[in-house]
């Protein structure tokens, strides 16, 4: 979507017919609209929304018709308010026009949705379903990411906005189609399973039914696990924030730092314990049988030895070796072996004791096995003892660390008074909750593992399952088809989501760190826009200012716009259905930024999107901002506000100097309305 | 006639769910979902069932 023109006709404070040329070029992609508070910046932003979707989010939203026109009407008479938007999308030109007929009823502007007309022309031809066409180009869901108020955009960088970030990513990149598809497929499969149940002869069961019930339980567990992990992370962040606060309290600083160190130590000890337990389990599952069977092996060895002594088993001398000596006529010690001599006779007697080669080999293998088993069994016991000793040492260390931590906590409680005592008590309950959540998470993980393995067994049963009832077989195959599609779609969905999140995160990080020095912003796996700082080589979430949140939010939106454009140009719109070109239209882009950040971000405004429309007030338009933006500005407009109360404006808000020319922003008048002036 | 029916039965029982069939099914579901994004079409699951029934009969 590339905006070309907006025309306002008696819309809110815009009297008569007024227009803004929004056309930009690749080199000059910024339009700046100057206006003071109340002049109509937000109204223009809302005019886009009203024209495209019929929705308006302003005070007295019923009052769409310009007041001057409305006042001139006699009671019961009507007049029209209209917004026309011209834009281009995928080489097609669209002309969107929305008009409302407003009737005067005393002081009330009366109109209903039926009084609205909405027309969309594509390359000059009226299209039959205009709302669908607009939704295809930019759905209502997506609009909020491209038309926004810069002063409020910082909320995106708060953890509670993770759903909005996730939805933005999924909708713009078209991944939500998979999410919805999976949901509908599961519902369809359930209905098909119920149909199958009805046709299965009584007394018989189908593995598909069981699969369905396990799958439902598994899905439920996965959702609960995800929610608990997210909840735990939130609590960990909350804990960290409180810890930072406590560290800033002089009398608690030392204890807090000590507590942090002890916690780190305890965490590492617990990690070592987990690894040790894993090592122990691995060893037991691999070699425990050797220890258990060592008595048996020993018994077997004694038995074999006895047989060998009695000459019932090979003596250990190979039959082939004796035959070779006799044939060669010489012993390995050099003695000649002559037929009939005592040495040869002895060799013949040994030959008599040997058995067939296969038996001999079998015996040698068995003998080697029993001897190895005995050694391995001993080794196993030795290793296990070592692990147990290590475990005992670790347990003692863990107990000691826990004790020390409890002491530190106690000391802190004794020192703390008033608000710091409250903070400590709050943190204590958060820590308890974190422990509970850790246990819950562990339990869900084991349950998922168990259900996964049950599902695997059911899948094997399904692959071997056969029925001779044709009707049942067809019903089962339909379920199999749905299940197959669910597996594949889930896999694709996970991969796409992760890939898009990582790509966007990288872009957000690049943009953010180029503006805010010393900090970084990323999209974490919970889809939170997270601002971090390097502390002792570790990336840690940090307290943020509104300005930093605003920069992170802008970086996120810009990353979305740019990735959607890149994928559209790379021909990937068939996979990512939301890929395309989007403009950014923002009111107060430098909303809550301080002078330094405002000047810094103004250097990047032109790179935020292929087309940027920015509404600014005089307080945001500094010499530095003007200098940074000037090379990229295609057109500039002034919203000249005619009003009866000039006194409410400071002198600095009444006019603006652009390119050495002074323009009035506020003009004394009996009526209240706004004129749009183009700066030459 | 009964013999013909048996033959049909055998043919139809031999329907195997292949990867290709699943991929084609997914493509159709995605088209349905994309379409529904802009038309607020209801009953998607019923339409999915209808597609599954056409593919396996």
Q: Which residue of B has its CA nearest to A484?
A: B22
CA distances from A570 to A102, A575, A580 (A): 47, 11, 10
pLDDT greater than 90 at residue A13:
yes
Q: Is the pLDDT score of B9 beyond 50?
A: no
Q: Does A191 touch chain B (CB under 8 A)?
A: yes
pLDDT recorded at residue A251 = 85
Interatomic CA distance for residues B51 and A478, integer angstroms: 10
Cβ-nearest to A481 among B12, B25, B38: B25
- Identify which has the larger pLDDT, A573 or B33: B33
Q: Which two tokens stand for residue A315?
A: 């003596």
pLDDT at B6 over 60: no
Flag if B38 and A136 touch (Cβ within 8 Å): yes
CB contact under 8 A, B49 and A188: yes
Residue of A nearest to B56 (CA): A478
Arithmetic mean of pLDDT, A44-73: 90
The predicted structure's pLDDT at residue A471:
84
Q: What is the pLDDT of residues A233-266, one digit of tens each?
A: 889 888 888 888 888 888 888 898 899 899 999 9
Report d(CA A481, CA A464) in Å as an integer: 16
Length of chain A, in residues: 680
Cβ within 8 Å, pair A477-B17 = yes
**What's the angle, vertex CA A660, arms to CA A654 and CA A661, rounded to 5?**
50
Are the Cβ atoms of B22 and A481 closer than 8 angstroms? yes
pLDDT for B42 equals 64
Q: Which residues of A fall within a CB distance of 8 Å from B25?
A: 481, 484-485
Containing A586, the helix (H) or strand (E) segment is strand A584-587
Q: A616 to each of A34, A61, A493, A577, A640, how far by Cα in Å?
A: 5, 23, 40, 33, 13
The 10s digit of each residue's pLDDT in A438-491 is 999 999 999 999 999 998 888 888 877 777 678 888 888 999 999 999 999 999
Whether B56 sits inside 8 A of A474 (CB atoms) is yes
DSSP readout, A396-431?
HHHHHHHHHHHHHHHHHHHH--HHHHHHHHHHHHHH
The pLDDT of A660-672, averaged and rounded, is 89
Q: How many CB atoms lie within 10 A of CB A67?
A: 16
Confidence check: pLDDT of A165 > 50: yes
The pair of three-digit structure tokens given for residue A22, joined into one six-digit string: 């929004």
Residue extents of the structural domains in chain A:
2-138+582-678, 260-415
Which residue from A481, A14, A230, A204 is spatially nearest to A489, judged by alpha carbons? A481
Q: Is A485 within 8 Å of B13 when comparing Cβ atoms?
A: no
- Among A185, A465, A487, A493, the strongest candidate for a mutation testing the B interface, having the largest count of B CBs within 10 A, is A185
Lowest mean pLDDT among A139-143, A268-272, A309-313, B16-20: A309-313
Instruction: Choose among B13, B33, B38: nearest Cβ to A181.
Output: B33
Task: Determine, for residues A191 and B49 on separate chains, whether the beta-carbon distance falls below 8 Å.
Answer: yes
Distance, CA of A119 to CA of A117 (rounded, Å): 7
Chain A interface, best mutation among B7, B21, B32, B37, by max A CB count within 10 A: B37
Which pLDDT band holds residue B3 (cuts at 50, 70, 90)? very low
What is the pLDDT at residue A359?
61
Section A531-546 average pLDDT: 81
Asked if pLDDT for residue A320 goes beyond 80, the answer is no
A187 and chain B in contact, CB less than 8 A: yes
pLDDT tops 50 at residue B11: no
Question: What values do phi and psi take at A76, rounded to 5?
Answer: 90, -10
The C-alpha of B55 sits at a distance from chain A's nearest C-alpha, in angstroms, of 8
The distance of B5 to chain A (nearest Cα, Å) reads: 12
CB A219, CB A229: distance < 8 Å? no
> What integer pLDDT is reported at residue A649 of this predicted model?
77
Q: Which of A132, A196, A466, A477 to mutate to test the interface with B (most CBs of B within 10 A)?
A: A477
pLDDT band for position A152 (cuts 50, 70, 90)? confident
Listed residue (A22, A20, A6) closest to A610, CA to CA: A22
Token digits for B19? 């990867």
- A470 and chain B in contact, CB less than 8 A: yes
A488 touches chain B (CB under 8 A): yes
pLDDT value for B5: 44
A96 conformational bin, left if phi > 0, alpha if psi -120 to 50, beta if neither: beta
Cβ-defined contact of B26 to A478 (cutoff 8 Å): no
Question: Residue A395: its pLDDT value, please?
Answer: 93
Q: From the candidates A127, A136, A177, which should be mutated to test the interface with B, based on the most B CB atoms within 10 A?
A: A177
pLDDT average, residue stretch A289-315: 64
- Contact in structure between A178 and A492 (CB atoms under 8 Å): yes
The string of DSSP letters for A468-481 reads S-HHHHHHHHHHHH
Judged against a pLDDT cut of 70, whether residue B1 lies above it is answered with no
Give the highest mean pLDDT range of A200-204, A304-308, A417-421, A554-558.
Answer: A554-558
| Chain B neighbors of A575, CB-CB under 8 A | none
A313 against A302, higher pLDDT: A302
CB contact under 8 A, B17 and A481: yes
From B10, which residue of chain A is nearest by alpha-carbon distance? A470
CATH number belonging to the domain at A2-138+582-678, selected among 3.40.50.620, 3.40.50.720, 3.20.130.10, 3.40.50.300: 3.40.50.300
Give the sign of the dihedral formed by CA B39, CA B41, CA B47, CA B48.
Answer: positive
Contacts of A356 (CB under 8 A, 6+ apart): none
Chain B, nearest residue to A139 by Cα: B38
Residue B12: predicted pLDDT: 47
In terms of CA atoms, which chain B residue is nearest residue A138? B38
| A residues 98-137 closer than 8 Å to B (CB) | 129, 132, 135-136
CB contact under 8 A, A485 and B30: no
Interface test with A, best of B22, B51, B57 (most A CBs within 10 A): B22
Residue of A nearest to B39 (CA): A132
Contact B47, B25 (CB under 8 A): no
Say if CB A100 and CB A116 are below 8 A apart.
yes
**B52 to A192: CB separation less than 8 angstroms, yes or no:** yes
- DSSP 3-state percent helix, strand, coil across chain A (nearest 5): 60, 20, 20
Residues 6+ apart with CB under 8 A from A116: A54, A98, A99, A100, A101
In percent, the amount of chain A with pLDDT more than 90 equals 37
Residue A287 has pLDDT above 90, yes or no: no
**Angstroms from A148 CA to nearest CA on chain B:** 23
pLDDT of residue A290: 65
CA atoms within 13 A on the CB side of A397: 17
Q: How high is the mean pLDDT of chain A?
A: 85
Dihedral angle, C-alpha A250, A255, A256, A262, nearest 10 °: 160
């Amino acid at each position: 979507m590339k905006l070309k023109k907006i025309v306002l006709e008696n819309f809110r404070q815009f009297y008569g017919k007024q227009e803004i040329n929004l056309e930009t070029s690749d080199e000059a992609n910024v339009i700046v609209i100057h206006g003071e508070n109340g002049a109509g910046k937000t109204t223009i932003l809302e005019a886009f929304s009203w024209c495209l979707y019929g929705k308006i989010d302003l005070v007295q939203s019923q009052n769409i018709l310009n007041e001057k026109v409305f006042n001139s009407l006699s009671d019961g008479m009507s007049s029209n308010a209209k917004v026309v938007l011209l834009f281009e999308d995928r080489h097609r030109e669209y002309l969107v026009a929305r008009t409302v007929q407003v009737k005067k009823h005393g002081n009330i502007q009366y109109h209903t949705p039926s009084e609205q007309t909405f027309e969309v022309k594509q390359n000059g031809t009226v299209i039959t379903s205009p709302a669908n066409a607009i939704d295809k180009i930019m759905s209502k869901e997506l609009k909020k990411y491209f038309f926004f108020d810069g002063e409020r955009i910082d909320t995106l960088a708060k953890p509670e906005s993770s759903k909005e970030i996730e939805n933005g990513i999924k909708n713009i990149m078209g991944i939500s189609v998979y999410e919805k598809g999976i949901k509908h497929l599961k519902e369809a499969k359930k209905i098909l399973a119920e149909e199958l149940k009805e046709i299965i002869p009584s007394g018989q069961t189908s593995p598909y039914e069981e699969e369905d019930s396990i799958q439902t339980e598994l899905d439920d567990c996965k959702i609960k696990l995800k929610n608990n992990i997210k909840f735990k992370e939130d609590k960990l962040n909350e804990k960290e924030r409180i810890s930072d606060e406590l560290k800033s309290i002089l009398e608690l600083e030392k204890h807090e730092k000590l507590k942090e160190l002890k916690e780190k130590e305890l965490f590492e000890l617990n990690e070592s314990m987990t690894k040790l337990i894993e090592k122990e389990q691995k060893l037991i599952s691999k070699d425990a049988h050797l220890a258990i069977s060592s008595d048996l092996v020993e018994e077997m060895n004694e038995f074999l030895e006895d047989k060998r002594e009695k000459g019932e088993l090979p003596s250990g001398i190979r039959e082939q070796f004796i035959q070779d000596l006799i044939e060669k006529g010489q012993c390995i010690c050099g003695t000649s072996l002559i037929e009939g001599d005592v040495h040869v006779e002895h060799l013949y007697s040994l030959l008599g004791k040997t058995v067939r080669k296969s038996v001999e080999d079998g015996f040698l293998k068995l003998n080697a096995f029993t001897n190895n088993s005995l050694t391995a069994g001993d080794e196993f016991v030795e290793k296990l003892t070592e692990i147990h000793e290590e475990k005992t040492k670790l347990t003692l260390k863990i107990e000691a660390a826990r004790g020390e931590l409890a002491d530190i906590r106690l000391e802190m409680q004794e020192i703390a008074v008033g608000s710091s005592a409250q903070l400590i008590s709050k943190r204590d309950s958060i820590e308890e909750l974190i422990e509970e959540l850790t246990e819950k998470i562990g339990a869900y993980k084991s349950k998922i593992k168990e259900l996964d393995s049950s599902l695997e067994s059911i899948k094997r049963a399904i692959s071997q399952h056969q029925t001779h009832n044709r009707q049942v077989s067809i019903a089962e195959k339909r379920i199999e088809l749905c299940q197959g599609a669910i597996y594949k779609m889930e896999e694709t969905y996970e991969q796409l989501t992760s890939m898009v999140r990582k790509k966007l995160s990288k872009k957000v990080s690049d943009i953010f760190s180029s503006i805010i020095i010393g900090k970084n912003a990323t999209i974490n796996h919970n889809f939170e826009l997270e601002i971090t700082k390097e502390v002792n080589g570790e990336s840690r979430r940090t307290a943020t200012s509104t300005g930093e949140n605003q920069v992170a939010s802008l970086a996120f939106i810009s990353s979305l716009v740019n990735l959607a454009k890149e994928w559209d140009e790379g021909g990937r719109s068939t996979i990512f259905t939301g890929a395309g070109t989007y403009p950014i239209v923002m009111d107060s882009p430098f909303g809550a930024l301080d002078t330094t950040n405002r000047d810094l971000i103004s250097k990047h405004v032109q790179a935020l999107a292929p087309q940027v429309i920015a509404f600014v007030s005089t307080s945001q338009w500094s010499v530095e901002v003007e200098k940074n933006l000037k090379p990229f500005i295609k057109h500039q407009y002034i919203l000249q506000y005619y009003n009866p109360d000039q006194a409410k404006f400071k002198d600095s808000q009444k006019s603006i100097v652009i390119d050495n020319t002074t323009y009035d922003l506020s003009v004394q008048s009996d009526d209240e309305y706004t004129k749009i002036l183009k700066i030459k | 006639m009964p013999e013909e029916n048996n033959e049909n039965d055998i043919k139809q029982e031999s329907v195997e769910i292949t990867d290709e069939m699943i991929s084609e099914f997914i493509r159709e579901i995605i088209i349905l979902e994309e379409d529904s994004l802009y038309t607020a079409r209801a009953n998607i699951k019923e339409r999915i069932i209808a597609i599954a029934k056409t593919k396996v009969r």
